[in-house]
Each structure stands twice: as C-alpha cells, then as structure tokens.
Structure 1
C-alpha cells in the first residue's frame, strides 16, 4: 500500500532527528453494516477508510501522529513536528527492509472486496425476525444487525521489519423485545469470527430468532432478585466478560508498567484459586479475537496467564517490554491508524475444568445461577466491578426456583478469582468489543460455567 522507498525515507528522517525507534502503520479498512427493525430493513451502510500512523520513540517517550497523505514530504513533516521538542543527535542508522510474509491461519471466502452479499444477509436477518416473532405474541419487536469488515494493514519499522496482513471480521445477531402491556424485557443472540460471510453456513436464523425470544420471555416473567452475599454459578461463554474486564486488563503491561495494576508485582504468586487456569490466545482458528500478527508486526501466540491459580505471564507489547523487562507476547493492538498500539487482549478465557454444572447448582443452599451476563463497569487499577445479569435464576436447596431480574454481581477481580471453587466442562467462547487506550478492538471472552462461593449480589427484592 505504501511505496517502500517512501517508507525508508520517512523512517530514516525520523532516525536523523535522534529517535530510537520509528514505525509506519498503513491501513485500508472496508466496512459494511445492515440493520433491521422487525421485518423491515432500517439501514444499509458501507465505507472505506485509509490512513497512515507514524510512531516515534525517544527513550521511553512515545510520540504519535497520523495522516491520510502518502507522499514523503507530508509524512516527514509529521515526524519533524512530533520530534520538535525532543531533537538530538542520531543514535541509530536505518536498517534495510526485509519483507516477511506471514502465514494466514484464518482463511476467509466471502469477503467485502469481492462480494458484500447484501441480499443474503438481509434474508438471514428477516428469517431470524420471523422465527423470533413466531415464538409468542408477546414478542413486540426485533432488532437485527450484520457487520462485516476487511482490514488490510502494512507495517514498516526502523529495525528493518516490513510485513502485512488482511483481516476479515463478521458478526451478526438479533435482539427480541417482549411486552405484556405494562413491562418490557429483552433477549439476544449473536455470533461472529475472523472470517467472511461463510459464517452463515454455521448460523441457523431460526435458532437465532428463537433463542433471542426465549431469553426475552424468561426475563419478562422474572421476579425481583434477592440481594446480599451468596454463592453464584456464572454461566459459560459470555460469562467470561467478568474475567476479561476485572482481571484481564490488570494483566496488560499498559497498566502493569505504570504500577496501576494490583498484580504488577505478583508474578509467580497465587492470585486465584488453584482450580483456575486462564489463557489469552491469539492463534485460535477464525475466532473473533484472533490475529496472524499483532499491530506491531509480531506473530501472535498463546499466552498462559494463570496456571493452577499462579500468575505466570502478562500481556506484553513493545513498549511494555522495554518498561517491564518481560518478553513480548504478540499483544500490541490498536483500533486503527489513528491510535498508537498498546498491550491488549485477544481471545481471553478461563480453561475448562472437571465439574458438572448440575453439581454446582445442587451445592447451593441459597444463591443465584447467572446463566447469561451482560455489560457493566470496572474501576481501572483495582478491578472493582459491577456487572448485570441478563438471564438469571434464584436457586434454593440445590434447585432452580424461578427467573430473576435486575440482578448485578459486585466484587473485585482479585477477590472473585480466589472465590472460584468449581470449574465446569462446558467451555464456550463469545464475541465482544473491548475499549482501552488504543481504541475499540474485537476480543473474545470465554469460560465454562463456574461456581463463585461468595459474591455480593445486587437486587431489588
């Protein structure tokens, strides 16, 4: 996408200003989105964005700028403006580029640059809507979406790296709204991955609609949730959002290097129950949070974060490595050319254990089964969290009694890790978007069902 001769002249110019390291990140980004409202197409949008990000490093100081221009003069001007307060004698000479073609572990077939497949996507969403509204007359409305992206990147840096990658993202889902005339409740289902619209081969629109409506109807019939400290079983799949938000961010060198994480000095120590094993894996084939290379050009990898309760690794990008001394993990990620990279999660999950979910529920005297989790808020640095339960049930004497509404789980990441006593076999993953200092990026969360012995439950019973 960028002439290597231009990239060479710009990087050499940055080095001539005294920079220790310089990098160009070139991106071409295609997008397509479809939204439906019940049986009507609400919107069809598409677009293309192109730009170049320039990162210059002076010691531990990172300077960043971006442009839509591709000529050498414009890029050199950005370098000069960024470096104006840090000028010094040249310390590094330019190293000739050595192009590295990376292996593609995430093949895609129906991609935006070849076929947007608008008609097929609309057909899928309308079939899902019909299935959702056929479940019950109480389903008053649905909202469907299909989002597809194709991101081409190219990276040059002053260490001679020249590489690139193409990433194809697809995600689709449906929300059902149930109403009894006085109250409303919602339910939803979605799926996605690092592939093209061939994702539709594994998605059944009837299941999509029926599952969304099932959740909505359960929530419509739910009773107020009791509150207080009690045992909770957290369901598989998106239940992993708690580990992602309340613990995962504390293991990124973005916070570790600044000692803003409670885990910054606990490498090798027990930070969780011994039944907890946690991983961040960027190599999983066609998963939503996977990548071939990170946004610094390093091949991604599987990183074991916690082993039998012991902290064994952080998530480390280039600058995080320089500041902490830990080896890079292929975790440097960014939303687009408008952001400098930072250490970020990929597919982050608690691994499967050997417990049965029925045994977890039967072990509860009085508590909650949070089968589906939603969003929440987290306090950076401490991992204090407050997450909503989107589908939950009250459990008494080891049996599910009735669905509950307005339930929240309140604790801290470090506390909840130590309260996990049982980890199930029913491992599953779920798609999500993660926001941090380098923008919003696709990440996967996951876990099997697990039992937390004591956690504060917020409710309005």
Structure 2
C-alpha cells in the first residue's frame, strides 16, 4: 500500500501536467479457496494480490494504467510513459488533509479459521448430503474467503480506505438414476469471516440441497409458449438483475445504449415494482462501506412504484449524464477501470400471498433458480436458462421440468409484474462485466409475471 505522501506526489504530478482529475487506487488482497469433490480435496489455493491503478481525466480523455510494482521510481516511470502531459500549470487542487477517512466494512469482529477446520466443515457437509439418500452420487463443496484492503485518493481531496472481508460456502449435490442426472446447489455468502458459517447449520443445508436434487429426478420436458411465470424468492432475483439491472447502469445509459436511457420520471414498470440497489446492507455479500471511487455506498431506489427514479452512476458516466455519482462504482481489482455496477439489487417486498399467487395460475411454470443467459442492454432482449423449475397446473405446483428458457425484454417484463409477495430474501453470486468479476447480492420476494415466452421441448 502507498503512503499518503506518495499519493500526494502522484496527484501533484498529474495536476501539474494538464490533468483535470487524478485518482489513485491501491489494493492488497488475500484469497483462499478449498474444494472437495467426492469426499476428497480437489483444490487448495491461496494467493496475494497487490498493486496500484492510476486514472486521469483531461477534457474528454480518460487514461488508466496499473502496476504490481509500487516503488516510487516505477510509478513515475509509468506516469511519464503513459500520460501525454499537457502544458505544465500550477496545480490547483485540494491537498489531502484531515478529511481522510478509514473504514472497516467487516463485522466488528471477524474470525479466521485454520485449513483443518475448514476441511472438517466440508467433510461434515459431504457426509450429511450422501447420508440423505443412496441416490446422491456425489457432493461438491467449495469454501472461499477474501480479505481486501483498498486505498483511494483523488485530486478533490479524497483519501479513503476500506477493509472488506468476504466468506462463502458452496454446496452442490449430484443425483442420478438409470435415466437421469440432476444437480442442485446452494451458496450462502456474507461480508464477514468464518463466524458467518458458524451461524449456519451446513449439514442441514446439505440435506436440503440433496432433497432438491432428488425432487428434480425424472423431470418432464418443459412446455413451450406464452404463459404465466412465478419466480421464487431469494436468488430468483438474479432474473431482474440480468433482465433490467444492467440497463440501469450509467455505463449503458450515458451512451444511449440502454432501453431506459432518457426515461427518468416515466413509468417503466408495473406499480407493483420497486427496485432497489443497496451497497450499504450490513454484512451483505455485495456490500462495502465505500465504492471503488471512494464514495459512500447507499440505498439507491432505482424504480419506485413503477416510476424510474434513478440510475447507478459512476463519476465518468455521471459527467456525461449530468448526474452525481451515487456510490455504485465497482471493479474486481486495481487491474480494472471502475464503472457503475450493481451491489445488492432486489425487488422490495409487496403484500401478495404466495399461495394465492400460485392458485391463480391454471397453467404456467414456477422457477426456483436462474442459470446462464444473455442480455442485450440496448434493446433489453434476454434469453435465460432456468435451474430448478416446476409445472403449475390448475393452481398447484406439480412436476419438475427441464430445458426451460425464459425469453423477452426487460421493459416488457417489468410492466407485466402482476403480484409481489412478502417473502423477501437476498441471494449471493458473482457478476461478470467490463470491470471484472464482482460480488453481488440479488433478491426478491416471490414474483408473478402475468405472461412470458417460455421455450422448451414440448409444444403446448
């Protein structure tokens, strides 16, 4: 990590040589990862990453470069080689001062654990899943943690630091019979240390995952056509993260590359929909005290009762839009330029009863999880494969189905949200985009979409 004196020198040089804005991002991160397959350790990784990224604005131009070598002579060599300096002028920027703030996004006390303790936890989980049924052919388990310290300074006088600790445990069960193979998974994660896992009954989680996998054996082919779709609470919220969340990031909006560009203050969704992104949720998997430009994270209401209220805004794209940055700028590491990205994104709970919601569907599908897919942020068109999915017939959830695909546009689906339940949960995952892989939360209560195109192998 850099001294405050060093960040001062870097910014002073840039602002003395034609820069309008300068930012220094330094990072030191430790990562650990263990995996167990079939009762045997299949992976054990530990690594440390440390480096510095420097960003410069000058007029409409933006330059960014990074290095693992934090020595002063190397940093200034990079500056001179990569920054085509303008005419030297006397720097007129706010020197770093008593405004500096150091944050700790972790819980007040986070706990570490030995590799041996982590392995014991995985072994317990493996045995519990296999013991649930002889149909379980294999358990796959993964433990990961990250301890990240970031330091951000800029030419507006900002000097901030944040300490972020993340821990996650991933459980997958594989079940097979003579004709079918099915998988189910669960991956709880949080901002915090090993104490997070001590609060969870991982053996019960393993049994639940095994039960879900067995329930999907013998799944029928999914019907094809237009039909109601009910998306389960929790990580079912990934659907809205993908279908419309990316189109609300200023990265897309500022270049008119989003179906929501220029629509602030207009109705873009059913009045049942309130969509929120909140990077300040305590212990949230996608949380931090500050974002990766040093802005305080906050609760951003993007859509309120169907009306578009806000975008997720970073500094550069905010300048283009005439909007202030709102704590939404994120990056995987110092190797990436920060841009507006989601943190913990969710649909706020409503007042509808889930049982009545299901009972209202004569023929449709109930989606418990979303898998891979693709989205065009310009048009809003999406195509997603589902995970655990069930047929709804005459108001009841009946048999599992496979090969289900959800097809549509984000704007259209938002307008067709007909009911929103009370059973809000937030799931955990990763998001891969221009500024790298980042930790995200995605959640919702149970949601009913009145009609959607469903792709499958069976024609209705």
- The answer to whether the superposition gives a TM-score over 0.5 is yes
Shift of 1:61: 1.8
Residue 28 (1) aligns with residue 28 (2): yes
The match for 1:205 is 202
- Which residue pairs with 1:238 in the alignment? 235
Correspondence for 1:55: 55
Match of 1:320 among 317, 322, 331: 317
Distance 1:270 1:91, change over 3 A: farther
Does 1:291 find its partner at 2:310?
no
1:375-396: CA deviations, max 9, x gaps? 3221232221122221111112
Find the aligned partners of 2:108 and 2:156 in 1 and give their Cα distance: 31
Cα distance in 1 between the residues matched to 2:32 and 2:202 = 20
CA contact (8 A) 2:26 2:151 kept: yes
Matches within 5 A, 1:73-222: 73-84=73-84, 87-90=86-89, 92-98=91-97, 99-104=99-104, 106-107=106-107, 109-111=109-111, 115-222=112-219
How far does the alpha carbon of each residue in 1:97-133 deviate from its partner, in whole angstroms, 9 at most, with x for none? Answer: 125224545415345xxx4432222111111111111
Query: How far apart in 2 are the matches of 1:94 and 1:328?
Result: 20
Cα distance in structure 1, aligned partners of 2:372 and 2:50: 31
Write the distance in 2 (CA, Å) between the matches of 1:278 and 1:94. 38
- Cα offset, 1:260, TM superposition: 0.3
Question: Does 127-136 or 373-382 show the bigger shift?
Answer: 373-382
Q: TM-score, normalised by structure 1?
A: 0.96
Partner of 1:229: 226
Shift of 1:241: 0.7
Counterpart for residue 409 of structure 1: 406
1:358 aligns with 2:355: yes
Q: Give the match's secondary structure for 1:403.
A: strand
CA distance in 2, matches of 1:314, 1:109: 34
Once residues 89 and 44 of structure 2 are traced to their aligned partners in structure 1, the CA distance between those partners, rounded to angstroms, is 51
Structure 1 stretches of at least 4 aligned residues deviating more than 4 Å after TM superposition: none
Distance 1:166 1:424 in 2: 36
Matching of residue 429 in structure 1 with residue 426 in structure 2: yes
Q: Distance in 1 between matches of 2:4 and 2:262?
A: 42
Q: Of 300, 305, 308, which aligns to 1:308? A: 305
Q: Contact (CA 8 Å) 1:369, 1:392: kept in 2 or not?
A: yes
Q: CA deviation at 1:221?
A: 2.4
Residue 395 in 1 paired to residue 374 in 2? no
1:5 aligned counterpart, secondary structure: helix
Instruction: Tell me the distance in 1 between the aligned counterparts of 2:108 and 2:206.
Output: 26
What SS does the corresponding residue of 1:62 show, helix, strand or coil? strand
Q: What is the Cα deviation at residue 199 of structure 1?
A: 1.0
In structure 1, how many angstroms separate the alpha carbons of the residues matched to 2:143 and 2:157? 39
Q: Is the 8 A contact 1:108 1:196 kept in 2?
A: no
Q: Structure 2: any 5+ residue segments left out of the alignment?
A: none
| Equivalent pair of 1:19/1:90 in contact (CA under 8 Å) | no
Indicate the SS of the match to 1:326. coil
Aligned residues: 457
The 2-side partners of 1:121 and 1:71 are apart by 36
Q: Provide the C-alpha distance between the structure 2 equivalents of 1:132 and 1:103, rounded to a whole number of angstroms.
A: 40
Instruction: Give the 3-state SS of the residue equivalent to 1:446 in structure 2.
Output: strand
Aligned-residue Cα RMSD (Å) equals 1.5
Among 253, 257, 282, the residue aligned to 2:250: 253
Contiguous gaps of at least 5 residues in structure 1: none
More divergent stretch after superposition (148-157 vs 388-397): 388-397
SS in 2 for 1:227: strand
Q: Secondary structure at 2:188's aligned position in 1?
A: strand
Instruction: Give the deviation of 1:91 after TM superposition.
Output: 7.3
Spell out, residue by residue over 1:227-263, the C-alpha distance to the aligned partner (whole angstroms, 9 max, x if none).
Answer: 1110011101111111111211111111111110110
